[in-house]
């Protein structure tokens, strides 16, 4: 199991549950990180994967991970795109939405009773839309100007891709809309905001103080963890921070565990 000397004896056994990031922590592009299988094996089922993914549904991610040799049940995968739609459906049952997103998210929205609107939506939902265009930007901007609520699945501008590349993300599309409408009120559902973390905590069914978040982004995973009183264990350059693997006392000073 590469990159995991002394992993289990200290902090892995100290937490009752783990919230594990996906991109940059378990995978890069469509490839597993070298430590991914060993990491989840050491966590012994005490984990939920939480991702700012604003394009896929949990079943898709579960199939992808299984194909890579990392089987994870869809019920243990929390994604920003589907969680955003679930929150809208709970707050505004049957709402008409303009969804800048994938076919998978469009199908999911339909399945939970949301209506996909044309030019007069109640809510504009921004996900990672690979077909984003000038025409879509125009419709979204004018819907927001006309009073539609603006909700983004996440505010990430990019996420890590293979060989040091970056993948444009939802936040880049959100920024384009905001540049056109000015300081319009908007909501962001993904990390570091609490919604995805609190969903994961419900699945784990343990208090936040007993949970550690493992991720590669201090501004999403780290800040989100600390806001809810959880520990944060950082992945740096594809490896867990070395100090975290040897001493929980040292790890506290390095990764901000209080």
Same domain for 241 and 172, yes or no, is no
3-state secondary structure 124-145: EEECCCCCCCHHHHHHHHHHHH
Encode pLDDT of 187-231 as tens digits: 999 999 999 999 999 999 999 999 999 999 999 999 999 999 999
Locate 137 and state its tokens: 């930007």
* Per-residue model confidence (pLDDT) at position 1: 33
Same domain for 183 and 88, yes or no, is yes
Same domain for 209 and 182, yes or no, is no
* Per-residue model confidence (pLDDT) at position 239: 63
Domain span at residue 120 reads 81-188
The CATH number of whichever domain residue 21 belongs to comes to 3.40.50.1000
Strands (E), 144-188: 149-152, 158-160, 166-168, 186-188
Encode pLDDT of 38-47 as tens digits: 899 989 889 9
What is the C-alpha R_g of the chain? 19
Q: Does residue 233 fall inside a structural domain?
A: yes
Same domain for 85 and 163, yes or no, is yes
Q: Does residue 22 fall inside a structural domain?
A: yes
Mean pLDDT of 222-241: 85
Number of domains observed in the structure of the chain: 2
Handedness of CA 221, 227, 196, 94 (dihedral sign): negative
Same domain for 156 and 206, yes or no, is no
CA dist., res. 68 & res. 247, Å (int): 31
Domain boundary among 134, 163, 188: 188
What's the whole-model pTM score? 0.87
Confidence of residue 88 (pLDDT cuts 50, 70, 90): very high
Q: Does residue 65 fall inside a structural domain?
A: no
Same domain for 133 and 210, yes or no, is no
Q: Does residue 72 fall inside a structural domain?
A: no
Same domain for 211 and 239, yes or no, is yes
Q: Does residue 95 fall inside a structural domain?
A: yes
Mean pLDDT of 64-75: 96
Domain boundary among 146, 173, 188: 188
Same domain for 165 and 116, yes or no, is yes
Comparison of pLDDT for 250 and 189, the residue scoring more: 189
Domain boundary among 153, 188, 223: 188
Same domain for 181 and 91, yes or no, is yes
* Per-residue model confidence (pLDDT) at position 249: 33
Residues with Cβ within 8 Å of 79's Cβ and at least 6 positions away in sequence, in order, are 51, 52, 53, 54, 56, 57, 58, 61, 196
Across-strand partners of 27?
Answer: 23, 32
Q: Does residue 116 fall inside a structural domain?
A: yes
């Amino acid at each position: 199991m590469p990159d995991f000397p002394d992993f289990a004896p200290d902090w892995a056994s100290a937490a009752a549950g783990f919230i594990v990031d996906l991109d940059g922590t378990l995978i890069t592009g469509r490839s597993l990180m070298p430590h991914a299988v060993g990491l989840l094996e050491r966590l012994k089922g005490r984990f939920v994967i939480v991702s700012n993914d604003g394009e896929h549904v949990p079943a898709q991610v579960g199939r992808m991970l299984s194909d890579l040799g990392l089987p994870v049940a869809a019920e243990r995968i929390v994604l920003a795109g589907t969680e955003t739609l679930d929150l809208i459906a709970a707050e505004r049952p049957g709402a008409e939405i303009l969804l800048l997103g994938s076919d998978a998210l469009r199908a999911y929205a339909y399945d939970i009773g949301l209506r996909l609107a044309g030019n007069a939506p109640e809510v504009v939902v921004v996900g990672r839309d690979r077909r984003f265009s000038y025409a879509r930007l125009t419709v979204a901007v004018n819907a927001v100007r006309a009073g539609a609520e603006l909700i983004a699945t996440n505010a990430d501008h990019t996420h890590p891709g293979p060989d040091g590349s970056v993948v444009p993300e939802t936040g880049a599309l959100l920024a384009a809309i905001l540049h056109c409408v000015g300081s319009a009120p908007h909501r962001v559902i993904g990390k570091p905001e609490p919604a995805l973390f609190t969903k994961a905590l419900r699945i784990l069914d343990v208090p936040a103080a007993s949970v550690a978040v493992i991720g590669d982004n201090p501004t999403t995973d780290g800040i989100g963890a600390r806001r809810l009183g959880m520990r944060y264990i950082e992945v740096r350059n594809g490896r867990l921070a070395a100090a975290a693997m040897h001493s929980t006392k040292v790890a506290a000073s390095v990764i901000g565990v209080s």
